[in-house]
């Protein structure tokens, strides 16, 4: 979390995405399959002029080797990663996935969006800053 007084990254765009999610949830309600919310979010965000990339490919690497790819639900303006959560609750694993996606895409802000409850649940996730290398002096 950013120190107090630090401006929130992508604050305006984040609010636009949240407003779009509220509109989608109000219109569709809870309980539909994941794909309907994703398609409705894409329509809602494009309507406000946002650049939306659905199923943005994210390469997974291990020791310099690419293991494969997975798709992020959508990325908005190449700035915010959005993950639609299908669980009953947003879990630590959901936060972990969002942070991994942010790291691999070299982005700073993500949103976890859970549509399948009576109320929309939105959680902001920020990338974990890279650890600074320290050198040992002898």
How high does pLDDT run on average in the chain?
A: 89
Asked if residue 132 has pLDDT above 50, the reply is: no
Q: Is residue 1 part of a domain?
A: no
Asked if residue 130 has pLDDT above 70, the reply is: no
Residue-range definition of the domain harbouring residue 24: 11-123
Pick from 125, 101, 100, 130: nearest CA to 113: 125
**Could you give the dihedral angle defined by the CA atoms of residues 11, 131, 58 and 114, in that order, rounded to the nearest 10 degrees?**
-50
Q: What percent of the chain has pLDDT over 70?
A: 89
Q: Is residue 6 part of a domain?
A: no
DSSP tag of 5? T
Query: Which residues, in sequence order, are CB contacts of 52 under 8 Å at separation 6+?
Result: 41, 42, 45, 46, 74, 75, 76
Asked if residue 107 has pLDDT above 90, the reply is: yes
Q: Is residue 63 part of a domain?
A: yes
Q: Is residue 128 part of a domain?
A: no
Number of domains in the chain: 1
Asked if residue 129 has pLDDT above 80, the reply is: no
Task: Give the CATH number of the domain where residue 53 resides.
Answer: 3.40.1350
How far apart are the C-alpha atoms of 121 and 5, rounded to whole Å? 26
Q: Is residue 133 part of a domain?
A: no
pLDDT in tens, 4-43: 556 778 899 999 999 999 999 999 999 999 999 999 999 9
Residue 138 is predicted with a pLDDT of 43
Asked if residue 63 has pLDDT above 60, the reply is: yes
Q: Is residue 98 part of a domain?
A: yes
Q: Is residue 4 part of a domain?
A: no
DSSP tag of 87? S
Residue 61 is predicted with a pLDDT of 86
């Amino acid at each position: 979390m950013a120190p107090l007084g630090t401006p929130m990254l992508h604050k305006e765009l984040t609010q636009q995405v949240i407003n779009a999610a509220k509109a989608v949830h109000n219109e569709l309600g809870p309980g539909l399959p994941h794909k309907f919310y994703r398609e409705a979010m894409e329509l809602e965000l494009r309507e406000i002029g946002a650049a939306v990339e659905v199923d943005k490919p994210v390469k997974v690497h291990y020791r310099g080797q690419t293991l494969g790819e997975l798709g992020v639900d959508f990325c908005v303006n190449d700035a915010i990663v959005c993950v639609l959560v299908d669980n009953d609750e947003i879990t630590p694993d959901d936060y972990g996935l969002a942070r991994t996606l942010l790291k691999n895409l070299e982005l700073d802000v993500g949103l976890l969006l859970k549509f399948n409850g009576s109320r929309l649940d939105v959680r902001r996730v920020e990338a974990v800053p890279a650890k600074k290398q320290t050198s040992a002096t002898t």
